[in-house]
A and B are shown apart, each in its own frame.
Chain A
């Protein structure tokens, strides 16, 4: 589904001493099927932005359009239920929201609420539990007997079971070990392509933005500060540093080697192995 922000501002507690403008005149478009990373310093407005995507917040000014649902400042949003059916949000630490007795019931909760038929739910539970890399043998177990990483997968399965067309991910790998982080992101990436989803990924990891996103939106103080393809955005080291962000470490390292040794390595998503080979070759005096 296409997502459009048209001149969106959002103000927390307007006309009070605590008034805070979290988003200011924000306009952008996310074409259906893209994988977009939203990055920015803490407090830059990322979380406020994504809460507009399923109507948890409605803009104070301007409008947000997701598919054929429009959230407009000043008018009561219609079709919120339809919107929430289509936009699945994986919040930070989603495992904190588990509550059912069994894993199966927990995954079924969302679709049940939206009136999906029982047979269909059963099938979706089977599909999603496998999609998140867990075994369907576990369905009768309590989600609270699982490890933290497994609990997170169950919570994610609960979101996927709604069959969303848009997936919103708010730091989905925070707190996981390196292997768990990679597995979860690879899983989302695969689902994104298999199901032809539109994915919005809020992340502090420049590495993940580089690895998975087609497009990057950089937020700063409630404004859109930069946007573009990952390799283009991450060329702008100084501009990013100015707003408290870094470039991915591998790009930083490439730049430093070029500077110190007068090389002309170009980072274009090589693996560490490939980059090391190029560097070694050039350091030995060869030309690539």
Chain B
């Protein structure tokens, strides 16, 4: 049985009593070492969900558990040590006057010894490809570079779970790929759960599991492959499917026998190859 690291039990949330319900009786879990992607239209409750995961918000109803701890005022700092978060807009996340100082900030807060700090700063900046920028001023970096530094800051404190809340939205396609590659690498080095909240469908295909939010409810839970088998439904809730999935759907409608829903170009080519050689 896989062990859950994070669990929502019947969580409901609204920002004010007279404002709409953002999350409505949501129960989900994220297992240890699992990568879960959360997608949904703007206003579906995704980001609120992320903020409930490390105690930036507390549920109105229901409970949030992190690593066996029930989220409360008492253990909020312990929980935040376990759950690192990178937000969409990196400008709001900088405190240091240099990139190096900025990464050091989180480590100082965690009381990491200096020797160890130096090592971790170098390692995490290298992991995001920003090692040449350690003496630069964060606010002079480009959006994508800032975001990589923000990710390095989180990596440096080695949390058990990393949440990327649309953290790649401002990056160029190559930057996105690099960040995803970084996440994969970190996962190979040590146990870490990852939650990516995203609109990028190709990012979704990399996750172990997808949770689709719609109007405050869990609309779908399953593997990316299962998700992209249903085309029209996703479009009806403001989302879309990746190009390869669309292509495969079209081929199917043309009467070609695509068995396995492809998640990337290679899988699509292999499916086509099978078809091609049997035609």
Nearest CB on A from B92, distance (A): 10
The majority secondary structure among interface residues of chain A is helix
**Number of B interface residues in the complex (CB < 8 A):** 43
Within 8 A of A (CB), among B161-200: 166, 169-175, 199
Are B173 and A177 in contact (CB-based, < 8 A)?
no
Asked whether A86 is an interface residue with its Cβ less than 8 Å from the other chain, the reply is no
Are B140 and A42 in contact (CB-based, < 8 A)?
no
| A92-B143, A149-B42, A272-B250 known; A41-B174 Cβ under 8 A | yes
Query: Cβ of B269: which chain A residues have Cβ within 8 Å of it?
Result: 256-257, 260
Within 8 A of B (CB), among A146-161: 147-149
Number of A-B contacts (CB under 8 A): 113
- Which residue of A42, A93, A96, A273 is within 8 Å of B175 (Cβ)? A42
**Number of A interface residues in the complex (CB < 8 A):** 46
| A43-B144, A148-B43, A176-B199 known; A276-B247 Cβ under 8 A | yes
Bound together, the chains give a CA A276 to CA B231 distance in angstroms of 16
Q: Which of A54-62, A77-85, A127-135, A280-288 contacts B (4 or more CB under 8 A)?
A: A280-288
- Which residue of B88, B240, B246, B279 is within 8 Å of A285 (Cβ)? B279
Within 8 A of A (CB), among B143-172: 143-145, 166, 169-172
Query: Cβ of B89: which chain A residues have Cβ within 8 Å of it?
Result: 93, 96
Are A147 and B42 in contact (CB-based, < 8 A)?
yes
Q: Which of A113-121, A229-237, A243-251 contacts B (4 or more CB under 8 A)?
A: A243-251
Within 8 A of A (CB), among B2-52: 40-43
For this complex, 22 residue pairs linking A to B, each with C-beta atoms less than 8 Å apart, are A12-B140, A40-B172, A42-B142, A42-B143, A42-B172, A147-B42, A174-B170, A175-B42, A176-B42, A177-B42, A177-B238, A177-B239, A178-B239, A179-B240, A181-B199, A246-B174, A252-B265, A253-B265, A253-B268, A257-B272, A280-B254, A285-B279
Asked whether A171 is an interface residue with its Cβ less than 8 Å from the other chain, the reply is yes
Asked whether B69 is an interface residue with its Cβ less than 8 Å from the other chain, the reply is no
Which A residues are within 8 Å of any B CB, using their own CB?
A: 12, 18, 20, 40-43, 47, 92-93, 96, 147-149, 171, 174-181, 204, 206, 244-246, 249-250, 252-253, 256-257, 260-261, 272-273, 275-277, 279-280, 283-285
